Amino acid sequence: MFKITKRIIDIFASVLILIIFFPICLFIIIFFVLINREKIFFVQKRLGYKKKPFNIYKFATVKYDKWNSNYNKTIYYKYGHIIRKHKIDELPNILNVLMGQMSIIGPRPLLINFCKKHKNNKHFNKRFHVKPGITGLSQLKNYTHLNFKNRCILDNYYIDNMSLKLDFKILFDTVKMFLK
């Protein structure tokens, strides 16, 4: 029953987010076409529920090519750093939620190469028992600055304690963080 309710809430929330943020998304798309004259979306393979690979969608904010595959030197599209700083680049993840590949709340989907490196870690593999999410406990705790072990601890806590109450708390805290 929880999975069905969670899916209904995911669809409802995704449609609501699309309606609210449609003007921003439209502006970004037009801006990218007119100003950056580059690609609009960044598509990347990630592992999801039951380790099934899927393409995650984001707004393209960083220039990736064979000369810039080094994360130590980030080259942003014009104003891409602002879009990324405010996590607006993640809005297209809503498409993944509508397609059923992701949920609004859950552990972030990880790159396939990263997953291969940790495939024998039982604490890490627990994340594949649920759909990955746009936001979750580790994102609220400043995801990028947490070490791998602490991310796993937070993700596993969520998985072990999944409930509508916890989902709404995470969603509320995410909105609160976004508004700050």
Beta strand 133-135 with 103-105 is parallel
For 122, the 3-state DSSP assignment is helix
What confidence score (pLDDT) does residue 44 get?
A: 92
In this prediction, residues 113-133 reach a mean pLDDT of 85
Q: What is d(CA 10, CA 5) in angstroms, rounded to the nearest whole number? A: 9
The alpha-helical segments, DSSP class H, found in the chain are 2-31, 80-85, 93-98, 112-117, 122-125, 137-140, 148-160, 164-179
Q: What is the mean pLDDT of the chain?
A: 87
What confidence score (pLDDT) does residue 66 get?
A: 46
| Residue 71 binned pLDDT confidence (cut-offs 50, 70, 90) | low
| Residue 22 binned pLDDT confidence (cut-offs 50, 70, 90) | very high
Q: What is the value of pTM for the model shown?
A: 0.86
Q: What is d(CA 172, CA 153) in angstroms, rounded to the nearest whole number? A: 21
